[in-house]
Amino acid sequence: MTEAIDTLRAPHFANGRFFNPWGVTKASFLDVVRWKLLSRNRYDKRRAPRVPRVANDGGGLSRPSAAPEVTWIGHATFALQDGADVLLTDPHFGPRALEENGDVESDSSTVVNLRAGYELERWRVTLDVLNLLDSDDHDIDYFYESQLPGESEPVADLHYHVMEPRTLRLYAGYRF
């Protein structure tokens, strides 16, 4: 096993010095200046990265897929679809601006759901565990003025709805 791994490594340190294992490139000072000024560095952070995008309204996720599919939602979130089953990975929502100037933000929230199912001929049974980790994060946050009884004037404050507690949902279906 060690020999196989060693063949993948390119040795680049010998006799106390680092070297390029693929050889030395001969370049004049003018070549280096030309390269630095005229070449496009594909790792240049000053330009926005070119990420290929495909228009997707999400409608495809509502229909069963013929073959397993992966849809990138954004950041580290993917929808994995196999037939009628859809698994959403990493549903972590970071802080979101709650007003137009961004001075007030919601907290981040994470929810983990689980679905297990079984199909036999015309029957299908699934069990969903919603909010598997029983998170008490906020499902949604709002920032607006409200006035409770006994308060002399409205107060701008954060309002929220806590995620539903861990819930089991059993589904049984029969195709005619």
pLDDT digits (tens, 9 = 90+) for 18-55: 777 777 778 888 888 887 787 776 666 676 767 666 67
Most confident region among 29-38, 61-70, 89-98, 136-145 by mean pLDDT:
136-145
- 3-state DSSP assignment of residue 25: coil
* Contact criterion met (CB below 8 Å) for 115 and 85: yes
- 2-8 long-range CB contacts below 8 Å, 24 or more apart? none
Task: Tell me what the pLDDT averaged over the chain comes to.
Answer: 80
Q: Are strands 85-88 and 92-93 parallel, antiparallel or unpaired?
A: unpaired
How large is the greatest C-alpha to C-alpha distance in the chain, in angstroms? 82
Which one, of 139, 135, 137, 141, lies nearest residue 167 by Cα? 135
Say what the pTM is: 0.47
φ, ψ (nearest 5 deg) of residue 146: -145, 160
Q: Which two tokens stand for residue 57?
A: 């309204």
Enclosing H/E stretch for 34: helix 29-38
Q: Are strands 138-146 and 155-162 parallel, antiparallel or unpaired?
A: antiparallel
The residue with tokens 């954060």 is 158
pLDDT level of residue 10 (50, 70, 90 thresholds):
low
φ, ψ (nearest 5 deg) of residue 105: -125, 155
Q: Which two tokens stand for residue 67?
A: 């073959």
